[in-house]
Amino acid sequence: MNHFYYNNNVLFCEGVPVADIAAAVGTPFYLYSTETLTRHFRAFDGAFTLPHLTCFAVKSCSNIALLHLFGTLGGGADIVSGGELYRALKAGIDPRKIVYSGVGKSEAEMRFALEAKILMLNVESHQELQALQNVAAALGVTAPVSFRVNPDVDPKTHAYISTGLAKNKFGIPIQDALDSYLAARQMKNIEIVGVSCHIGSQLTDVSPFVESLQKVRCFTERLKEAGIHISCLDLGGGVGIRYKNEQPPLPAAYATALEQEMHGLDCTLILEPGRVIVGNAGILVTRVLYTKQGGKKFVIVDAGMNDLARPSLYDAFHAIQPVVRRGQEVEVADVVGPICESGDFLSRGKEVPLCAQGDLLAVMSAGAYGFSMSSNYNSRPRVAEVLVKGDSFHLIRRRETYEDLVAGEMIP
């Protein structure tokens, strides 16, 4: 359920015609709906009845306006870098609701996190634990730690976004993790608070989540036998969304399946959803520059793979819809950007609305891993981001300028 809909063949976001925003801010731009973001956050967070904390995965969509919104709804943040910590704090997220994931935290990033007094750092290797102990000792503080275990569960998703298989770089193999906890217990500046895992993204079935929770649960029992008690069980993110005809679990089904496995566990459940909250709450709006018939039909638009990388990177599908619908006619065409790579496409070999030069198109389901993965490749300024609320819209990130492109550069 989202708040992008047609009224008299004109695409609206909540109460605002998308074409009006394009006229005001130019194209391309990302457009988010406050109402949809709020609804998705509440549906997810509200599905859980046991003590829990919903830490929005900042990497999926990092604009501080969105982080601020989730903060006001009671959310925390799952961060994977010092930059994301900076954003979360800037957005007013309570540091006691911030968890820090990632295999490669630098010492400077650890220092920043400890000084900010975040809830916990999810440690992924013995060397990282040692580094954290050193940083904490130098600061004279105790580092709250959870280990990210790798449960070796197949999430049945795209290989690039599978993270919980033994062959993936993430976490500590669950069968070796007890040693990490025993080592941590001996460290003066480490406080053990939890156990975490995250098995992948865009999962459309609850069973891999349940399987990994069962494995983690068994593991907490072994910890208990060793005299180690944890207060946080972090299950990561990964719930999928509908891009085309996937059937991802509803929040209620997901929450119920997990809570059944949580019985008798005296832990706060931490969740790190990203895509499921923002994916269908955002679109990318682009304009048709030219159309041409080569070996096939091409629709050349002003947004490229630097603006939305998912089609090129994962061969991901995004529905393309007209901003003003003139008819029902469709044609098979490649919708491509201006970048000098053949991999620069938003849609390839699929039916798209029949369109003409100057038309506006909406690339749907682009809220997650859209703007946050965008780059300046081909020296293209990054696009604007706009947030609609009711009948009004707000620029939440201005389009970059040419000066922005070279702002940090120097000629020696």
Ligand X SMILES: *Cc1c(COP(=O)(O)O)cnc(C)c1O
Residue 2 or 27 having the CB closest to ligand X: 2
Residue 205 or 400 having the CB closest to ligand X: 205
Least gap, CB of 5 to ligand X (angstroms) = 25
Q: Report the interface residues with ligand X, using CB under 6 A.
A: 57, 59-60, 78, 101, 198, 201, 236-239, 272-276, 368
Least gap, CB of 386 to ligand X (angstroms) = 22
Tokens in use for 326?
Answer: 């003139």
Tokens in use for 85?
Answer: 């910590």
**What's the rounded Cα separation, in Å, for the pair 205 and 65?**
31
Phi, psi of 390 (to 5 degrees): 65, -120
Least gap, CB of 202 to ligand X (angstroms) = 6
Q: What share of the chain is helix, strand, coil (3-state, %, to 5)?
A: 35, 25, 40
Residue 54 or 321 having the CB closest to ligand X: 54
Using alpha carbons, select from 390, 388, 269, 323 the residue that is nearest to residue 19.
323
Tokens in use for 298?
Answer: 């091409």
Residue 315 or 404 having the CB closest to ligand X: 315
Residue 55, SS3?
A: strand
| 340 given a catalytic annotation | yes
User: For the residues of 216-265, what is the DSSP string, one character each?
Assistant: HHHHHHHHHHTT---SEEE----B---SSS--PPPHHHHHHHHHHHHTT-
Least gap, CB of 262 to ligand X (angstroms) = 18
Q: Which of 55, 197, 340, 355 is catalytic?
A: 340
The DSSP code for 408 is T
Least gap, CB of 325 to ligand X (angstroms) = 31
Residue 168 or 231 having the CB closest to ligand X: 168
Q: Which residues belong to the active site?
A: 340
